[in-house]
């Protein structure tokens, strides 16, 4: 749009920026991918709503849950917890030297950094249930394959975030220690590690939440845990027993998430905000006053050690409890590490048999399966985002005035997030039959709850100044949201959309293991008939697709900063 100013045209509309071009290209590509996927999967609103009706009927047959076999269910649930604890602990221990080798400010050589970063990325690209299925075929059924799969796959996330925490350490303490003649190792231990340690512990705890969900479904391929009980109950049409097992998974996941979230917030220094929000509680007020008095007394007496505030008690108590649980896990989990030693050469041989990969034997099925997995991911992401955005608005404290609405929405999201996506997929497949449609609908439910949490966080983090300015000139709440909130949150939300698509691509590749469509069915079939070269081709194809999406997402997020 132009206007005449002094006889010359003047531009009124702002010039098109690079960010706008990126946003437009991404939105267009995503909508095109969604339309192509919707048509290719032969999806329709009728199949969508009829599928939900079938699931509702199945859930009705599950009620009430049957806890008559509660000892077996409880034992399998605890095994799930122990597997996740051991896998996370082993991965965190392995990731400490890997992260120091991958961080720019601590690596001894650029080549070491490249190797460490490459190994970290490689372990993240193959889903843990695929690793578990491979290990089960060599080491037999049991928790050991599950623990190995969790530990290896967790390296991808824990190693990357550990390295990022190390790189974000302030250089001033390091320079001070170097100035008095400290060596490289002494410098790292005394100046960099103390800065990175809180973030590293918080990362390990967050990964534990993820691994609880993962270990609860590894039993679907025989790798131990509650998943085996759930699948067995569904196959025998004992739906009430299946719901009892799913309920135990939900309780375990929710409890771990709540406890871990509280400790992480304390470690990262977010407890002050939490106490401010809960200040109306008499107990919270007493804790704030007690901690303030302890800090004051320590400062006046010039003590060298910090006082035992409620936050320090929480952190120390959590560390002791975690150490006890890890020891108990190693004692109770039936992992014959020494007994499995003769099988480790077979594991190396099987992994070696994956190469060179054979892309020709099952080429048509491979292309069809990968295409179907990508289509499932696009449709589930699109439908999930359609549901997630209004839920995110209702869950945002700075947008919705009624606190009861915000609290109710967040509780619903927490409850729905408590059931892993593969267990949701098993329920949908049991209700609707095999195929990509039930897998897509199951992934849609998971996507909606996951994305709503991410979007709500992005909406809550916007700068309030533009909103206050619009309100001051009489703008309505709708105008203020559209003009001040949404433009600020949109880049973050778009980056999160790509992240959600990345996560869904990983999930869609394994839905076929439980009959939900995609490449997972061919993958499991190739392992069962010992066609390891075909398995290698499938694993490499999954790696290439997932890694390509991850690279595109990283590039776009950098452009949007």
The reply to whether 353 falls in a domain is: no
pLDDT of res. 154: 86
pLDDT of res. 271: 44
Say yes or no: 254 and 385 in one domain: no
> Measured between alpha carbons, how far is 155 from 204 in angstroms, rounded to an integer?
10
Which CATH number characterizes residue 266's domain? Answer: 1.10.3720.10
Q: Count the domains in the chain.
A: 2
Say yes or no: 374 and 387 in one domain: yes
Say yes or no: 151 and 52 in one domain: no
pLDDT of res. 264: 64
Q: Which of 306, 143, 316, 137 lies closest to 216, judged by CA? A: 143
pLDDT of res. 277: 42
* pLDDT of 241 strictly over 70: yes
Sequence-distant (6+) residues with CB within 8 A of 521 are 369, 512, 513, 515
Q: What is the pLDDT of residues 438-448, one digit of tens each?
A: 888 888 888 88
Two tokens, residue 322? 């975690």
Confidence band of 504 (pLDDT split at 50, 70, 90)? confident
The reply to whether 419 falls in a domain is: yes
Sequence-distant (6+) residues with CB within 8 A of 36 are 375, 378
* pLDDT of 250 strictly over 60: yes
Q: Are 419 and 445 in contact (CB under 8 A)?
A: no
* pLDDT of 436 strictly over 70: yes
**Taking each helix axis from N to C terminus, what angle separates 70-102 and 110-125, rounded to the nearest 10 degrees?**
160
* pLDDT of 218 strictly over 70: yes
> Measured between alpha carbons, how far is 45 from 379 in angstroms, rounded to an integer?
12
Say yes or no: 84 and 135 in one domain: yes
* pLDDT of 68 strictly over 70: yes
Say yes or no: 182 and 258 in one domain: yes
DSSP code of residue 512: G
Q: What is the pLDDT of residues 125-177, one digit of tens each?
A: 677 887 887 788 777 777 888 888 888 888 888 888 788 778 777 767 666 66
pLDDT of res. 283: 59
The reply to whether 546 falls in a domain is: yes
Q: What is the pLDDT of residues 390-399, one digit of tens each?
A: 888 888 877 7
The reply to whether 228 falls in a domain is: yes
Confidence band of 276 (pLDDT split at 50, 70, 90)? very low
> Measured between alpha carbons, how far is 370 from 523 in angstroms, rounded to an integer?
11
Say yes or no: 251 and 375 in one domain: no
Say yes or no: 238 and 387 in one domain: no
The reply to whether 6 falls in a domain is: no
> Measured between alpha carbons, how far is 324 from 313 in angstroms, rounded to an integer?
16
Alpha carbon 287 to its chain centroid, in Å, reads 33
CB neighbour burial string for 185-197, b if at least 16 within 10 angstroms, e if fewer:
eebbeebbbeebe
User: How many CA atoms are closer than 13 Å to the CA of 165, on its beta-carbon side?
Assistant: 24
Question: Exposed (0-12), middle (13-18) or buried (19+): which is 202, by Cβ within 10 Å?
Answer: buried
Q: Is residue 10 within a helix (H) or strand (E), and if so which, with residue range? A: strand 8-11
Prediction pTM value: 0.75
The reply to whether 354 falls in a domain is: no
DSSP bridge partners of 5: 8
Say yes or no: 266 and 405 in one domain: no
Say yes or no: 29 and 158 in one domain: no
Say yes or no: 40 and 115 in one domain: no
Say yes or no: 432 and 523 in one domain: yes
Tokens 């190994």 label which residue? 119
The reply to whether 3 falls in a domain is: no
pLDDT of res. 389: 87
> Measured between alpha carbons, how far is 492 from 476 in angstroms, rounded to an integer?
24
The reply to whether 281 falls in a domain is: yes
pLDDT of res. 124: 74
Confidence band of 273 (pLDDT split at 50, 70, 90)? very low
Q: Which of 223, 205, 202, 204 lies closest to 214, judged by CA? A: 223
Q: What is the pLDDT of residues 114-124, one digit of tens each?
A: 888 878 877 87
Tokens 């799913």 label which residue? 246
Weakest-pLDDT range from 81-95, 179-193, 530-544: 179-193
Say yes or no: 374 and 319 in one domain: no
Q: What is the pLDDT of residues 469-488, one digit of tens each?
A: 777 777 777 777 778 777 77
Q: Is residue 317 within a helix (H) or strand (E), and if so which, with residue range? A: helix 310-332
Sequence-distant (6+) residues with CB within 8 A of 13 are 1
Confidence band of 190 (pLDDT split at 50, 70, 90)? low
462: containing domain? 16-62+362-561
Q: What average pLDDT does the structure give for the chain?
A: 76
Confidence band of 280 (pLDDT split at 50, 70, 90)? very low
- Average pLDDT rounded to a whole number, residues 65-94: 86
pLDDT of res. 97: 86
């Amino acid at each position: 749009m132009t206007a005449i100013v002094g006889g010359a045209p003047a531009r009124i509309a702002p010039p098109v920026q690079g960010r706008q071009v990126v946003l437009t290209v991404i939105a267009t590509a995503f909508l095109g991918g969604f339309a192509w996927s919707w048509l290719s999967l032969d999806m329709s609103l009728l199949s969508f709503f009829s599928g939900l009706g079938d699931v509702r009927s199945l859930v009705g047959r599950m009620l009430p849950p049957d806890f008559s076999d509660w000892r077996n269910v409880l034992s399998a649930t605890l095994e799930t917890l122990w597997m996740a604890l051991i896998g996370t602990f082993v991965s965190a221990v392995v990731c400490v030297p890997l992260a120091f080798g991958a961080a720019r400010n601590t690596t001894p050589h650029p080549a070491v950094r490249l190797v460490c970063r490459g190994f970290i990325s490689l372990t993240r690209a193959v889903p843990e249930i695929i690793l578990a299925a491979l290990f089960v075929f060599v080491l037999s059924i049991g928790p050991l394959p599950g623990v190995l799969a969790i530990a290896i796959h967790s390296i991808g996330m824990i190693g990357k975030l550990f390295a990022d925490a190390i790189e974000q350490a302030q250089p001033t303490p390091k320079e001070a220690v170097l100035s008095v003649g400290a060596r490289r190792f002494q410098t790292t231990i005394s100046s960099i590690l103390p800065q990175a340690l809180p973030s590293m512990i918080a990362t390990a705890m967050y990964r534990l939440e993820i691994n609880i969900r993962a270990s609860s479904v590894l039993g679907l391929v025989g790798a131990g845990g509650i998943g085996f009980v759930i699948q067995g109950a569904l196959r025998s049409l004992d739906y009430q027993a299946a719901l009892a097992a799913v309920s135990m998974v939900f309780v375990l996941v929710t409890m771990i998430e709540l406890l871990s979230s509280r400790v992480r917030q304390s470690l990262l220094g977010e407890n002050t905000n939490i106490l401010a929000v809960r200040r109306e509680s008499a107990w919270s007020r007493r804790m704030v006053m007690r901690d303030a008095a302890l800090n004051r007394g320590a400062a006046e007496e010039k003590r060298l050690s910090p006082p035992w505030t409620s936050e320090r008690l929480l952190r120390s108590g959590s560390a002791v409890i975690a150490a006890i649980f890890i020891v108990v896990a190693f004692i109770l989990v039936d992992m014959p590490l020494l007994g499995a030693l003769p099988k480790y050469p077979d594991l190396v041989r099987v992994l070696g048999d994956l190469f060179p990969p054979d892309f020709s034997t099952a080429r048509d099925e491979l292309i069809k399966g990968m295409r179907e997995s990508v289509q499932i991911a696009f449709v589930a992401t699109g439908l999930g985002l359609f549901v997630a955005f209004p839920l995110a608005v209702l869950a945002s404290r700075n947008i919705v005035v009624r606190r009861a609405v915000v609290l109710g929405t967040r509780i619903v999201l927490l409850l729905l997030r408590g059931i892993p996506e593969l267990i949701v997929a098993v329920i949908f497949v049991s209700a609707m039959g095999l195929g990509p449609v039930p897998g897509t609908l199951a992934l849609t439910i998971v996507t909606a709850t996951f994305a709503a949490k991410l979007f709500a966080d992005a909406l809550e983090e916007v700068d309030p100044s533009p909103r206050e300015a619009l309100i001051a000139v009489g703008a309505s709440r709708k105008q203020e949201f559209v003009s001040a909130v949404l433009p600020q949150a949109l880049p973050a939300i778009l980056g999160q959309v790509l992240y959600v698509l990345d996560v869904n691509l990983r999930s869609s590749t394994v839905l076929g293991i439980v009959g939900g469509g995609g490449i997972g069915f061919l993958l499991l079939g190739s392992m069962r008939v010992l066609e390891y070269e075909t398995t290698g081709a499938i694993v490499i194809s999954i790696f290439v697709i997932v890694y390509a999406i991850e690279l595109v997402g990283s590039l776009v997020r950098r452009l949007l900063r």
